[in-house]
Amino acid sequence: MVDAREVIRELQDMREEGHLSDALLRYAVKSLDGADARFNWVGVYLLNDEGLELWLHNYVGSPTEHAKIPVGQGVCGTAVAHGANQNVPDVSEFEGYLSCSSDVQSELVVLIRAGTEIYGQFDIDSHQPAAFNNQDEVAVQMIADKLAEQIAHERR
């Protein structure tokens, strides 16, 4: 289980040292990846300026062909289109699922957002079925909210 408070403390320290969202996003992905054996692939996608595509920012795990995902497609694009996190217990049941690896069984997407403005998302894949619970979603959301603070600050 990820210690969201500890990650947030570190992210705040980084902000105070002057690090920008690019570094914070990379730190958060590495922290999540190392935090839990259920998290087999962890990445961040950011919404492009036109708000039509998600672009892969950084990840830890097997290489993926999904460097760009149109809004509305796959689990990732669906999260943006619906403005809602996606916890998919069985990816084979998800219509339009975009597969990265046949080992992946479940997926959690948590939006990085400030109110109605969506900046991007964390995408976490697991080789276990139904790997993600509500506590995972809450913890990842806390980290996502901290990152949104910095992204909003940079875009002001």
Is position 111 an interface residue for ligand SME (rule: CB under 6 A)? no
Q: In terms of CB distance, is 8 or 120 closer to ligand SME?
A: 120
Q: Is 74 in the site for ligand SME (CB under 6 A)?
A: yes
Letter string b/e over residues 133-145, b meaning 16 or more CB atoms within 10 A of that residue's CB: eeebbebbbebbb
Position 92, amino acid: S
Task: State which of positions 45-64 bind ligand SME (CB under 6 A).
Answer: 64
Main-chain dihedrals φ then ψ at residue 122, nearest 5 degrees? -90, 135
CA distance 55 to 69: 7
Assess 107 for contact with ligand SME (CB under 6 A). Answer: yes
One residue of 32, 69, 111, 139 binding ligand SME per CB under 6 A: 69
Rg of the chain in Å (alpha carbons): 14
Binding region for ligand SME (CB under 6 A): 41, 43, 64, 66, 69, 74-76, 97-98, 100, 107, 123, 125
